[in-house]
Amino acid sequence: MAPSISCLFLAVLLSAGCEVITSSDQTCFEKEANKTYNCENLDLSEIPGTLPNSTESLDFSFNFLPAIQNTTFSRLINLTFLDLTRCQISWIHENTFQSHHQLSTLVLTGNPLIFMAETALDGPISLKHLFLIQTGMSSLEFIPVHNLKNLETLHLGSNHISSIKLPKDFPTGNLKVLDFQNNAIHYLSREDLNSLKQVTNLSLNFNGNDIKGIEPGAFKSTVFQSLNFGGTVNLSVIFSGLQNSTVQSLWLGTFEDTDAQDLSSAMLKGLCEMSVESLNLQTYRFSDLSSTMFQCFTHLQQLDLTATHLTGLPSGMEGMNSLKKLVLNVNNFDQLCQINAASFPSLTHLYIRGNMKKLHLGTGCLEKLENLQKLDLSHSDIDASDCCNLQLKTLPHLQSLNLSYNEPLGLQSEAFKACPRLELLDLAYTHLRVNAAQSPFQNLHLLQVLNLSHCLLDTSNQHLLEGLLDLRHLNLQGNHFQDGNIPKTNLLQKVGSLEILVLSSCDLSSIDQQAFNSLGKMHHVDLSHNSLTSNSIEALSHLKGIHLNLAANGIRVIPSHLLPILSQQSTINLSHNPLDCTCSNIHFLTWYKENMHKLEDSEETLCANPESLRRVKLSDVMLSCGITPVGAFFLVVFLLLLVILLIFVVKFLLRWKYQHI
Ligand SMILES: *[C@@H]1O[C@H](CO)[C@@H](O)[C@H](O)[C@H]1NC(C)=O
Ligand SMILES: *[C@@H]1O[C@H](CO)[C@@H](O)[C@H](O)[C@H]1NC(C)=O
Ligand SMILES: *[C@@H]1O[C@H](CO)[C@@H](O)[C@H](O)[C@H]1NC(C)=O
Ligand SMILES: *[C@@H]1O[C@H](CO)[C@@H](O)[C@H](O)[C@H]1NC(C)=O
Ligand SMILES: *[C@@H]1O[C@H](CO)[C@@H](O)[C@H](O)[C@H]1NC(C)=O
Ligand SMILES: *[C@@H]1O[C@H](CO)[C@@H](O)[C@H](O)[C@H]1NC(C)=O
Ligand SMILES: *[C@@H]1O[C@H](CO)[C@@H](O)[C@H](O)[C@H]1NC(C)=O
Ligand SMILES: *[C@@H]1O[C@H](CO)[C@@H](O)[C@H](O)[C@H]1NC(C)=O
Ligand SMILES: *[C@@H]1O[C@H](CO)[C@@H](O)[C@H](O)[C@H]1NC(C)=O
Ligand SMILES: *[C@@H]1O[C@H](CO)[C@@H](O)[C@H](O)[C@H]1NC(C)=O
C-alpha cells in the first residue's frame, strides 16, 4: 500500500510522474531479430538501410520498385525468402540476384513484367519455389530458368499462357508442382507433354483453362501425383486424353458458373482406361443414377461427390470394395439409408456435411460399415429425441464423430454405446437435451477430445462427464454456469485427466478457489471472453507451466500475492482487459515488464485507466511511484505541517477540556 499512498501524495503535490514511451517507427517490422522482416505496404522505393545485412526472410510486398537490378538487393546476400508481390516491377535487369545463392523462394506475383534479363535468375541456384502469378506473361520462354536446377514448384496462374511446351533447357529434374491455373490453354498435344515424360510424381494444375482437346494418349504411361482439370465443360475430352495414364489424385470438379455437361455413364467409361486412386467430381450433375454410372469406379480408393445434386446412390452397385473415403457433402439426401452404405464395405471415412435437406438418421443405415473410423454429419439439420444408439448401430471401430451444427439432440445415459471406441466427439453448436442424471458419455473410456461448445448444457449436472477416463481436451465455450460462477463441486471433478480446457465466453464472473483442484494435468486453460477479475486467478495456484488465456475479461488490478501464480505459468494472454496503469497496480506493472517473454499479444495489452494513459501499451508505460528528492522534500514539509497542525489541535482540545472542568 505504501507506494500507492506516496504516489497519491505525489499526484497531489507534483501532478507528474507518469511518462509514455511509444515508438512511431514507420520502418519494417522485425519478426525475428536479424533474420525475418516484414516491410509490407510501406510505400518504400528501395531497401531501407535499417535492414541488417544478415536478413534471411523478407516480405517486401506492396511497395514500389519499378525496376530491380544487381544493386537492389546486393547487400542482403543471405536471403532465403523474398516476397515482392505487387511492387509494380516491370524490369528485372541482368544479374539481379547474382549473389543470392541461398535464395529458395521468390515471389513475383502481381507485377506487370515487361522484361526479364537472360541472367536475371543466374545467381539463385538453390531456388525451389518461384511464383510468377499474374505477371502478364504469355509464354514460358519469358522465364530465364536455365540455371534453376533445384526448381520444385513453379506457379504461373492467371497469365495468358496458351502452350505448356517447356523450353529445351528447362530444368525438370526436381520439379514437383507446375501450376497453370486460369491461363488460356485450350489444347494439349503429345509433344507438349513429352517434355514432362521424365518427371514422375508431378502435380499439374490446369484448373480454369477451358480445355477443348487433348491428343489421344498424350498423358499415357506417365505417373502423376495430381492432375487438375477443374471447370472443364466436356469431360469426355479429358478422359480420352488421359488413356493409359496413372494418376494418384484426379480433380475434375466444376463450378456453379460453368455450364458443364451432365455426366453420363458413357462419359465416365474413360475411367476404366486409366488408373486413378482418388477422384473429385465436385458440382457436376449425373444424367441418371443407374448402377452402371459407377461401373468404372471400382478401383477408386477415394471419391468426392460434393454438391453433385444427389438424392441417393443407386442400390446394387458392385465391386466398390476398394473405396476407403467417400465425401457426399452438400447433397440432397432425405435419409441416411439413401446412400446405400452396404455398397462400400471397406469404407473408413464418410463425410455427409452440410446436407441441403433435413437429414433423417433412420435406424442402422451404416450398419455394414464395420471399418468406419471417421464420420462427419455436421451442418445437416439432424434432430433426434433419443440419439444415438439405434441410429449409429454397430460401428465398432468409429473413432471420430462430428455431429456439430445440428438441431436439438436428446441424449439418454450411455447414448454412444454403439461406438465404444470413439476418441473424438464434436457436438459443438448442437443443442443437447440430456435426459438422464447419469452421463450420456458413460462408456466412452477412450474418448480424448470432446467439443461441447455452445450446446446450451445444464452445467449444474455433476454427472454429465462421468466415465470419461481418458478425456484430454474439453471445450465448454459458450455454455453458462449458474450465477456466472464455477463452484467448488462441479462437473469437472470427474475428468481428472484433462490437459486442455476451454471455458471462454461462458459469462463467468467468478471461479471458486478449489474449483479446478482435481485437474492436475492441465497445460492449456482458456478463460478468455468472460467477466473474471483477478480473484479467480487463485483457482490456478496448483497448476504450473500452463498456457493461460485470460484475454477479454474484467481484470483491472492484480495484487502482488497473485503474481507468483502467474510467474509459474509458461504463457499468458492478458490482452483486452481494462488494466489499471496507476501506482495502485505498480507491482503487476513491474512484474509485467520483467515477464514480457511469457506474455502473448502485448500489442493488445493496453491500459484502460488513468484517462491519460488510455490505450497505451502496458510495455510502454513508465510509472515512477517511488519518492523523488523533490517529492520527498514536499512530503516531509507536508508531514511536518500535519504534525504541527495535530499538536495545535491537541493543545486546543486539552485547553478546551480544562476550561470546561
Ligand atoms: C543481431 O545483430 C547485432 C549486430 O550484429 C548483434 O549485436 C545481436 O546480438 C544480433 N542479435 C541476434 C538475436 O542475433
Ligand atoms: C551469411 O550467413 C553466413 C553463414 O551463416 C554467415 O557466416 C555470414 O556472416 C552471413 N552474412 C551476413 C552479411 O550476415
Ligand atoms: C552491377 O552491374 C554493373 C554493370 O554490369 C557493375 O559495374 C557493378 O559492379 C555491379 N554491381 C554489383 C554490386 O555487383
Ligand atoms: C552491409 O553490406 C554492405 C555491402 O556489402 C557493406 O558496405 C556494409 O558495410 C555492410 N554493413 C554491415 C553493418 O556490415
Ligand atoms: C509423390 O508426391 C507426394 C506429395 O507431393 C508425396 O507425398 C509422395 O511421397 C511422392 N511419392 C513418390 C513415390 O515420390
Ligand atoms: C492403351 O493401352 C492399350 C493396351 O496396352 C492399347 O491397346 C491402347 O492403344 C492404348 N491407348 C493409347 C491411347 O495409347
Ligand atoms: C464431348 O467430347 C467428345 C470427345 O471429344 C465428343 O465426342 C462429344 O461430341 C463432345 N460432346 C459435346 C456435347 O460437345
Ligand atoms: C466438425 O464439423 C465442423 C463443421 O463442419 C467443423 O468446423 C469442425 O472442425 C469439425 N470437427 C472436427 C473435429 O473436425
Ligand atoms: C471442436 O473442438 C475440436 C478440438 O479443438 C476442433 O478440432 C473442432 O474444430 C471444434 N469444432 C468446431 C465446430 O469448432
Ligand atoms: C490472445 O487472446 C485474444 C482474445 O482471445 C486473441 O485474439 C489473441 O489471438 C490471443 N493471442 C495469441 C497470441 O494467441
Task: For residue 561, give the nearest of 541, 581, 546, 575 by alpha carbon.
Answer: 541
Percent of the chain at pLDDT above 90?
A: 81
Query: What's the CA-to-centroid distance between 491 and ligand 2, angstroms?
Result: 57
Residue 10's pLDDT band (cuts 50, 70, 90): very low
Residue with cell 438422464: 436
d(CA 419, CA 397) in angstroms, rounded, equals 7
d(CA 364, CA 398) in angstroms, rounded, equals 14
Q: What is the pLDDT of residues 618-641, one digit of tens each?
A: 999 988 886 655 666 777 778 888
d(CA 463, CA 180) in angstroms, rounded, equals 57
The domain defined by 26-184 carries CATH number 3.80.10.10 = yes
The predicted structure's pLDDT at residue 19: 30
Burial letters for 166-193: b for 16+ Cβ neighbours within 10 Å, e otherwise?
beeebebeebbbbbbbbbebebbeeebb
Q: How many whole angstroms from its chain centre is CA 483?
A: 33
Mutate to test the pocket of ligand 7, among 234, 235, 252 (most ligand atoms within 8 A of CB): 234
d(CA 131, CA 147) in angstroms, rounded, equals 16
- ω before 388 within 30° of 0 (cis)? yes
Q: Is the CB of 182 under 6 A from ligand 8?
A: no
The predicted structure's pLDDT at residue 311: 95
3-state SS track over 370-423: CCCCEEECCCCCCCEEEECCCCCCCCCCCCEEECCCCCCEEECCCCCCCCCCCC
The predicted structure's pLDDT at residue 632: 66
- The answer to whether residues 139 and 116 touch, using CB atoms and an 8 Å cutoff, is no
| Residue bearing the CA closest to ligand 9, atom 13 | 428
- DSSP lists the bridge partners of residue 10 as none
Q: What is the pLDDT of residues 343-398, one digit of tens each?
A: 999 999 999 999 999 999 999 999 999 999 999 999 999 999 999 999 998 899 99
Mean per-residue pLDDT for 509-515? 96
d(CA 500, CA 448) in angstroms, rounded, equals 10
Quick one: which atom of ligand 7 is closest to the CA of 213?
5
Least confident of 6-10, 58-62, 154-158: 6-10
Residue with cell 535487369: 93
What are 301's three cell numbers?
Answer: 480408393
d(CA 389, CA 420) in angstroms, rounded, equals 11
Residue with cell 496458351: 162
- ω before 52 within 30° of 0 (cis)? no
Q: What is the pLDDT of residues 105-125, one digit of tens each?
A: 999 999 999 999 999 999 999
| Residue bearing the CA closest to ligand 3, atom 10 | 70
Task: For residue 380, give the nearest of 336, 340, 434 by alpha carbon.
Answer: 336
Mutate to test the pocket of ligand 3, among 68, 69, 71 (most ligand atoms within 8 A of CB): 71
Using N-to-C axis directions, what is the helix angle for 2-13 and 629-659, rounded to 10°?
Answer: 90
Q: Is the CB of 225 under 6 A from ligand 5?
A: yes
Q: Is the CB of 244 under 6 A from ligand 6?
A: yes
- The answer to whether residues 397 and 371 touch, using CB atoms and an 8 Å cutoff, is yes
Q: Is 630 helix (H, G, I), strand (E, B) or coil?
A: helix
Q: Is the CB of 304 under 6 A from ligand 8?
A: no
Task: For residue 299, give the nearest of 268, 275, 328, 325 by alpha carbon.
Answer: 275
Quick one: which atom of ligand 8 is closest to the CA of 451?
13
The radius of gyration computed from the CA coordinates of the chain, to the nearest angstrom, equals 34
The answer to whether residue 18 scores a pLDDT higher than 90 is no
- The answer to whether residues 490 and 461 touch, using CB atoms and an 8 Å cutoff, is no
Q: Where are the alpha helices (DSSP H) in 463-504?
A: none
Query: What's the CA-to-centroid distance between 277 and ligand 1, angstroms?
Result: 51
Quick one: which atom of ligand 4 is closest to the CA of 52?
13
Q: What is the pLDDT of residues 43-70, one digit of tens each?
A: 999 999 999 999 999 999 999 999 999 9
Q: Exposed, middle or buried: residue 329 (CB in 10 Å: 0-12, 13-18, 19+)?
A: buried
Q: How many whole angstroms from its chain centre is CA 228?
A: 25
If one counts every other C-beta atom within 10 angstroms of the C-beta of residue 367, the result is 15
What are 118's three cell numbers?
Answer: 537472360
